[in-house]
Amino acid sequence: MNKRDFIAIGAVLILSAIGFLFFAFQPKGGASVKISINSDVQGTYPLNENRTINIKTDGGFNTVVIKDGSVFIKDADCPDKYCVKQGKINSGSIICLPHRMTVEITDQQQPDAVAR
Amino acid sequence: MAKRIASISVFTALALIFSYIEAILPFNFGIPGVKLGIANIVVVVALYQLGAKEAIGISLIRVFIIGLLFGNILSLIYSLSGAVLSLIGMMICKHLKLSVIGVSAIGGVLHNTGQLIAAAILLQSGALIYYFPVLLISGLITGILIGIVSFSINRVLDRKKAV
Amino acid sequence: MDTYMSLTLNGNNPENSIKKAEAFIKKLDRLLSAHDKSSEIFKLNNSGRKSLSPDSLSVLKSALKYYRLTDGAFNPAMLPVTTLWGFPDKKYRVPDSSEVLKALKLAKPEEIKINGSTVKLGVIDMKLDLGGIAKGYASQKTIELLKKEKVDSALINLGGNIQTLGKKPDGSLWTVAVENPNKNSSYLGQLKISDKAVITSGGYERYFKKNGKTYHHIIDPENGYPAVSGLKSVTIISDNGIQADALSTALFVMGREKAVEFWKTSKSGFDFILYTDNGKLLISEGIENSFYSDLDYEVINE
């Protein structure tokens, strides 16, 4: 290994450190869970209310569970099941590439009231 | 010429076998998209032992055959984007006189970056950006590991050539 | 008001103000319920003639005003018809067309005579149901009461009918989401508002199914059947809760074209969010800058 190697590796490390810091300071409070297929929003749900959402696409199904301030994919029929393996998150996102589904935690504010 | 074709074939076959091993025995880190990518050892070694054109050929053939055997159009697109970006990056780094380990590290990082960009375009979603730092680090680590292995292999092969 | 209520407010003496507001809303509920045997409206419906208290009279007058303004799309005398369908007591059934026609003949608010505080229902067996305006009236009058109490920030939620006073205690605007009829927990969008009522009407709120057909609770006063207007829900945003409540029902009955036309001609300072059966979202230009949605929507200009 030479000096240039260390410069290259160092550059990648700095870049990812900046990335981690950037996301660490993203606001998390009052968060919502946004579920999209491709880029179409299927629904936005408060992160602090427990519920189960069944998402059906042409590709198959994903069972999204919001529980105690975290969200996870309980079950899915995609081949790799990465989305299920990823486990619980309370920031960032879960992606199911085969079904083109994204479950994203956003800082969209919870409404003060819902007109119905 | 015949020796060259034979070498390329052996390298390609080896890359396919490594991909196959990884397909049936995935080293899963629990993060989508993060895997060891041992087939890249073959590509990195090919880049040094055979040359850039040959490495590109081996890599593309591997991606297409594995895509056809084990994947679908989607996974093919991801692998292809990763492979192409990684190859371009590695060629540039080699040109810039980085060592095998540095070249392979950048290759690993760009492999993940290429897949992430492809996924972001396909999903039309910026949500994936949260993975970027994780994928940078994981690409770096797997790239360095593969670089170390490739370094050892290159040393053995270079010694044999010299003899 | 067979539903929940919630009050959030900020003032000099919040506990006292909440108590007063709550007592006031409960009082209105007792006066106006068409189903509570001790209510003024129930008694009026039974006897056809009664002297009403100022609040009941005021609600009735408002109801009649919107009956005229909406050309009958809002009708406060539809109780005989909705009863046929079983909506008040949840004993749902599909009535014969002859029954509907007969009941519809009783729904003639223009035959109501008001003399001082005495109200006479001009058609025998005519029955009022002020449910379509009572909640809006209650929130409007409660806001007025709270203003007198020097409360500067409040949100009243009467079973999903929202009315706000001022801004939030921290000085930011209130965020009121509008329910998406298709999915129980996702929103059509969110409104950033102050000093506004936001009231939604939609067939999705209450309905029953019979032989594969769905019958919802908003009956078209024109024909006595659940309104088939191409709309899934109508939300009215207005300074005045009474107007918002009455017009949300009326515009739902009118359907998209008539509703937009009504908005253009009335110029009475309200805005709307229409959600159509085929998933289109239309909003009026007045809320363009305070409405946020993940869905595509069209802005209607005057």
Q: C173 and C105: one domain?
A: no
Domain ranges of chain B: 2-162
Q: C113 and C178: one domain?
A: no
Q: C104 and C214: one domain?
A: no
Class for the domain spanning A29-106: mainly beta
Q: C190 and C245: one domain?
A: yes
- pLDDT per residue over B37-86, tens digit each? 888 999 999 999 999 999 999 999 999 998 888 777 878 888 899 999 99
Structure confidence at residue A20 (pLDDT): 84
Residues A116, C174: C-beta atoms closer than 8 Å: no
Q: Using CB atoms, which residue from A4, A16, A95 is nearest to B102?
A: A4
Percent of chain B whose predicted confidence (pLDDT) is above 70: 91
Q: C123 and C32: one domain?
A: yes
Domain ranges of chain A: 29-106
Structure confidence at residue C216 (pLDDT): 93
- Does residue C242 surpass a pLDDT of 90? yes
Of residues C172 and C74, more confidence is placed in C74
User: What residues in C contact A34, CB-CB < 8 Å?
Assistant: 294
Residue C275 within a domain: yes
Q: Give the lowest-confidence range in B15-19, B122-126, C18-22, C62-66.
A: B122-126
- Which band of pLDDT confidence, cut at 50, 70 and 90, is reported for residue C1? low
Q: C285 and C164: one domain?
A: yes
Residues A34, C168: C-beta atoms closer than 8 Å: no
B and C touching (3 or more beta-carbon pairs closer than 8 Å):
no
Structure confidence at residue A91 (pLDDT): 77
User: What residues in A contact C205, CB-CB < 8 Å?
Assistant: 116
Structural domain count of chain C: 2
Percent of chain C whose predicted confidence (pLDDT) is above 90: 73
- Report chain A (116 residues): mean pLDDT per 10 consecutive residues: 89 90 66 81 80 85 89 87 83 83 79 87
- Which band of pLDDT confidence, cut at 50, 70 and 90, is reported for residue C52? very high
- pLDDT per residue over C218-235, tens digit each? 999 999 999 999 999 999
Q: How far is A87 from chain B (nearest CA, A)?
A: 9
Class for the domain spanning B2-162: mainly alpha
Over range C268-283, report the average pLDDT. Answer: 92
Q: Using CB atoms, which residue from A16, A20, A82 is nearest to B32?
A: A82
Residue C243 within a domain: yes
Q: How far is B123 from chain A (nearest CA, A)?
A: 5
Q: Three-class SS string for chain C? A: CCCCEEEEEECCCHHHHHHHHHHHHHHHHHHHCCCCCCCHHHHHHHHCEEECCHHHHHHHHHHHHHHHHCCCCCCCCCHHHHHHHCCCCCCCCCCCHHHHHHHHCCCCHHHEEEECCEEEECCCCCCCCCHHHHHHHHHHHHHHHHHHCCCCEEEEEECCEEEEECCCCCCCCEEEEEEECCEEEEEEEEEEECCCEEEEEECCCCEEEECCEEEECCECCCCCCECCCCEEEEEEEECCHHHHHHHHHHHHHHCHHHHHHHHHHHCCCEEEEEEECCCCEEEEHHHCCCEECCCCCEEECC
Find the length of chain B.
Answer: 163
Over range C276-290, report the average pLDDT. Answer: 92
- Does residue C264 surpass a pLDDT of 60? yes
- Does residue C275 surpass a pLDDT of 80? yes
- Does residue B130 surpass a pLDDT of 90? no
Residue C26 within a domain: yes
Q: C20 and C108: one domain?
A: yes
Percent of chain C whose predicted confidence (pLDDT) is above 70: 98
Over range B77-102, report the average pLDDT. Answer: 93
- Does residue C145 surpass a pLDDT of 70? yes
Over range C31-37, report the average pLDDT. Answer: 86
ipTM (interface pTM): 0.88
Q: C159 and C285: one domain?
A: yes
Q: How many contacts does A have with B, using Cβ atoms within 8 A?
A: 99
Structure confidence at residue C44 (pLDDT): 94
- Does residue C266 surpass a pLDDT of 90? no
Structure confidence at residue A116 (pLDDT): 87
- Does residue C62 surpass a pLDDT of 90? yes
Write out the residue range of the structural domain in which residue C19 sits.
8-131
User: What residues in A contact C178, CB-CB < 8 Å?
Assistant: 114-116
- Does residue C2 surpass a pLDDT of 60? no
- Which band of pLDDT confidence, cut at 50, 70 and 90, is reported for residue B32? low
